Structure 1
C-alpha cells in the first residue's frame, strides 16, 4: 500500500513540542494501547474569577493529543448536563495535529471558550505524578487554580485553542512554534516524497480549518518556515493578536 491516499488514512502529522515534556510521565489513561502522557480531562474549580470574569469552574485538558483524545473530550462534555464550562488547555509532548483540529471543532460546536494555561490542583501539592494522576482520573471536580504552564502553547495547542469562541492565554503564557513532521505508526519508513506531499495536503487542511475558526491561516506559513529541527520561535504578543490566536477581551 504505497499510494498517497492509502498513507493519508494511517499517517498522522505530529508536532514536536517546542519545550521538554514533563519530567515524570503519567500512567496510560486507557487499559490497552494507550500511550503515557495521553491527554486527560477533569473538572476544576476555584474562587470567583479563577478562569476569567464570572468564571470559577472549568474543564482541564492536559497531556499530549492522541488518537482517542477527542472521544474523551466528548465524554466529559456529555457529563456536564448542559453547562458550558471553558476548557483550559495544557499540551506537552508530540501530538496528533489532525485530532487537535477535531477537538477544536468540538469546542466550537459546543460554543465553549478556551484558555491556554495550566491547571494546578491543590490536592496534588507534594504528591508524585502518579498519585496526582489518580486524583484527576475520576474527572473531578477538584479545587485548583489556572497558572502559567511549564510547556508553551505549541501548534497543537493553537489548533485546539482556535476552536474556542473566546480564546485567551493564561497570564504570562507564550505561543512557541517549531516545525511539524509526518509519522506513520503502521509504516514508519515513509519516503521523503510522500512526506512532502502529505505535509502540503495537511497544511491546506489546517489553513481551511483556521480560516473557519477565525484565525489567520498565515499561521501555517509561519510553521512551515520552521524546519523540524529548527530553533523554537516565540510568537510576539502583537503577532498573537494580529493572527487572532486570541480574541479581544
Structure 2
C-alpha cells in the first residue's frame, strides 16, 4: 500500500490571502495526521507566496509522520533543508516564478549537479527523491545520481485519464518497472485525484508514496478533510 502524503501548500495560500494565521497551518497538519495522513509535504518557493521558510521550521516540530520538502535546490533551499532535516527531500526543477511544477528533471543534462545535491542530502541521512517524467532515459539518468527514489510527474496521466486511461498509464508502468529494476523507490504526484488515484495505484508496481495537495484540498471543500483523507487511503489500499 502506497502511503498518502498531503501537500499543504493550498492551506498556506488561503492563510496568506488574508495576512493572518487563519487557517493555522500547523493545526491543519496535526489534524491531517490525526485523520490518517501518513506524511506532510510542503513546497516552499523563494517568494514564499504560499509556504514560508519559517513554516518548514515550525512543521518539523509538530509533524509526527514524515515531512517531505520539495523544491528547486537553489542555495536558500539547500540551507533550509540542512536546517530542518526532513525525512525526505524531493528535488523539483521549477523556476522561481513557476505557478506550479510543470516538468521533471533532465537527469542526463543535469547529472553532475543532481549527483552532488543527492550526495549532500544523503550524507545527512535525508532520503532523496528526484521529480522526473515517465521516460526510460530519465529514470536511468536518475539512477546514476545515487538517488533513493523518483517522483513520477503525473500531469500527463491525469490529463488523458478521462479519454484513454490505458494509454495514459502505459508510460508510467514502463517507467516504474525500470525504476524497480534499477533499485529505485517510486513516488508519484501532480493532479492525482479521487477520480484517478485508485486506477493509478493499482497499475503502478512498487508504488511507495503519493503526494496530493490541490485536488485533495479542493475535494475537501465539499466532503471534509477527514473524509477525503480516508477516501484516498481506501483507494490506495
- Scaled by the length of structure 2, the TM-score of the pair is 0.32
Query: Greater RCO between the two (CA within 8 Å, min separation 6)?
Result: 1
Pair member with larger Rg: 1
